[in-house]
Chain A
Amino acid sequence: GAVVSQHPSWVICKSGTSVKIECRSLDFQATTMFWYRQFPKQSLMLMATSNEGSKATYEQGVEKDKFLINHASLTLSTLTVTSAHPEDSSFYICSASRGTSLSEQFFGPGTRLTVL
């Protein structure tokens, strides 16, 4: 149990376009979902934390108007990269926690975004 999926697994887009990434908890209800970004040979950096039905909490330095997060249900969170630029190219990973134990996070397989 505790499987998290992401879609798409990779995407290539032109500069200036918007890209939506989905994160789903397949067999459990995720009270909290987290979005991370990972650049090559770097650690995962938390971008934002989202709870179902409420606004996401963004980490310092992350533009909330550029990275739109929607957590409309207990099994789905979406990250939209608006007006993407080459510097947004990265590996985006979501994780989900169930119940009240935020320490138990299950990670998705990641989405590779390349902006041309």
Chain B
Amino acid sequence: EDQVTQSPEALRLQEGESSSLNCSYTVSGLRGLFWYRQDPGKGPEFLFTLYSAGEEKEKERLKATLTKKESFLHITAPKPEDSATYLCAVLRGSQGNLIFGKGTKLSVKP
């Protein structure tokens, strides 16, 4: 069964304290792994797409990496405005179905 598991469920960091979020997945035929940011009461905001093991992408303080079984979202020197829930999703099938993890709620304190 296709599955996406994110850890930790919640993460509290001090401003400037770097850390990583994990997304492990089990899917037959990975067609893409996605990272989104979701603020309370809002829809997901696209961050990255990764397609193959070894691929890395960066955007400001965020860096996403992908292996054959998991993906990491590295946050370098986070700021309070980085506080949000970060969602990981994998694409399966030919219909564009995304399977989402439950997310990691990140809180960055000043």
Contact = CB atoms under 8 A, between A and B. Distances in A.
Interface in B38-94: 41-46, 49, 87, 89, 91, 94
Interface stretch (A12-20, A42-50, A62-70, A71-79): A42-50
Contacts of B100: 43-45
A108 B43 contact: yes
B98 interface: yes
Which of A42, A44, A57 gathers most chain B CB within 10 Å? A44
Contact of B91 (A45, A57, A103, A107): A103
Contacts of B91: 102-103
A109 B44 CA distance: 8
Nearest to B102: A43
Contact of A43 (B46, B87, B95): B87
B95 A102 contact: yes
Contacts of A45: 100
Interface of A: 4, 6, 32, 34, 41-46, 49, 57, 91, 93, 95, 97, 102-110, 112
A103 B87 contact: no
A108 B31 CA distance: 23
Interface in B11-58: 31-32, 34, 36, 41-46, 49
Contacts of A4: 43
A108 B100 CA distance: 16
Which of A4, A57, A104 gathers most chain B CB within 10 Å? A104
Which of A34, A105, A112 gathers most chain B CB within 10 Å? A105
A110 B96 contact: no
B46 A106 contact: yes
Nearest to B43: A107
